[in-house]
Structure 1
């Protein structure tokens, strides 16, 4: 994994973990985590292109 992807996903997961306990049970947290992961994976190529990575 390249450093840009590693840092990007670390930031996304860190921010998600700040809000996870307040989201309810396991199913809502799992669903939100999946959605955030999909969005993050979709945005990463665009962000890498913007920063010249």
Structure 2
């Protein structure tokens, strides 16, 4: 299984920016970090999910 580091970085940036706009998670740096981690997790899981679904 290979990981596309570009996709991981892309999702981390997108989720981080979007989470920075969500006021319910505390300060902007915390929201940015949470969004980045969620993006990394989502991008890392994507190849496995695609493999399970046979895509």
Tell me the TM-score range normalised by the shorter chain. 0.5 to 0.7
Computed over aligned residues only, the root mean square deviation of the Cα atoms, in angstroms, reads 2.0
The structure where helix makes up a greater share of residues is 1
Count of residues paired in the alignment: 38
Match of 2:41? 39
TM-score under structure 2 length normalisation: 0.57
TM-score under structure 1 length normalisation: 0.58
Structure 1 residues 4-32: Cα deviation after superposition (integer angstroms, max 9, x where no partner): xxxxx7xxx6xx86xx4321111111000
